[in-house]
Structure 1
């Protein structure tokens, strides 16, 4: 899949990769939020790549790296910047994220106008700046999907999953630890199917 490098506007150094399917004229895009940057999380994360690979030609994927570490505040701002950039170019914008990025995607969606879909895989329950992810779920006015691993000992994703169920969101469980080793393709297809229906 052809990839275009993008530097997003604003005061933070945010770099991104726009995955496009050749000459297609996509009318929708998924903004993909990476896991914790202080633990090696980047836009090249295998789970985000699997989502991008599974999307149909009519939906592009914008994977971005956060700017300088800012305890979650700046990272949420980076996600909002990515969404604003995408909204200027596409009719519909969705958000997805993994782990720390799942929390960023949910809080950014709660702070962004009209995201068309939100998917969070193994989202953290709280960002380092204190943002409560489960509370943010109630402020999302879009279809929501949360994926959790049954053997996840890294994050409290079930707290967010319960909030998603309460507001009518979809929750998928996987027989997996936090890393979802060997299940990237299945995860990518599940997330892509959800956002494709919503977008």
Structure 2
């Protein structure tokens, strides 16, 4: 079951809340999902995001997939993610953050200012959103905050500048998982959903 949500914060940010419970009641845990680059067609209905949401809701975890507001060079998009996490944190006991590609970098940057997060999982992140917003630096902040982090990447990815993120993550002891795939994980969406669900399932569920 799903419902449409308007995220407060001064920008036009709309989201779909996928609810695990068959009666439509919200659970105790949710993951906020950040889509890929909006100028390249990224949106909350992205195949990777929906696969993750399906895997999470099957595990009893709700998922909030949102669209960014008007394009703002990565600055406003990071604010959108933070506002979406804030919306979820007011309604759920435990909140995680996920993103794909541009959205993975948004997720890492937003998570670096959210010490209460249960975890952040980034799929095929690129090193930077813009000259001022650096995912590599965000990894150091996440370690300092003690936020559990997992980086998923594709070994044949020639689209995103992912190598600096994975290199720094491994230096910091952050878990990384490699997929034999290209940037878009063609035919691997189900595997991606499983990997994300496994990470959050142990951190967001009581059982």
TM-score range, shorter chain: over 0.9
Structure 1 unaligned spans of 5+: none
More deviation, 127-136/7-16: 127-136
**Counterparts of 2:59 and 2:177, CA distance in 1:** 25
Unaligned runs of 5+ in 2: none
CA root-mean-square deviation: 1.2
Distance in 1 (CA, whole Å) between partners of 2:93 and 2:131 is: 32
Q: Structure 1 segments of 4 or more deviating over 3 A?
A: none
SS in 1 for 2:141: coil
Corresponding residue number in structure 2 for 1:149: 154
Which range moved further: 77-86 or 165-174?
165-174
Q: Distance in 2 between matches of 1:166 and 1:94?
A: 23
- In the other structure, the counterpart of 1:39 is 40
- What TM-score results when the alignment is normalised by the length of structure 2? 0.92
TM-score for both structures, normalised by structure 1: 0.96
1:125-171 CA distance string (max 9 Å, x none): 00025311111111112111111111100112121112222222210
Q: Distance in 1 between matches of 2:8 and 2:134?
A: 27
Shift of 1:57: 4.4
Query: Are 1:127 and 2:132 counterparts?
Result: no
Counterpart position of 2:90? 88
What are the Cα deviations for residues 147-199 of structure 1, in whole angstroms up to 9, with x where unaligned?
11111001121211122222222101011110110000011111111111122
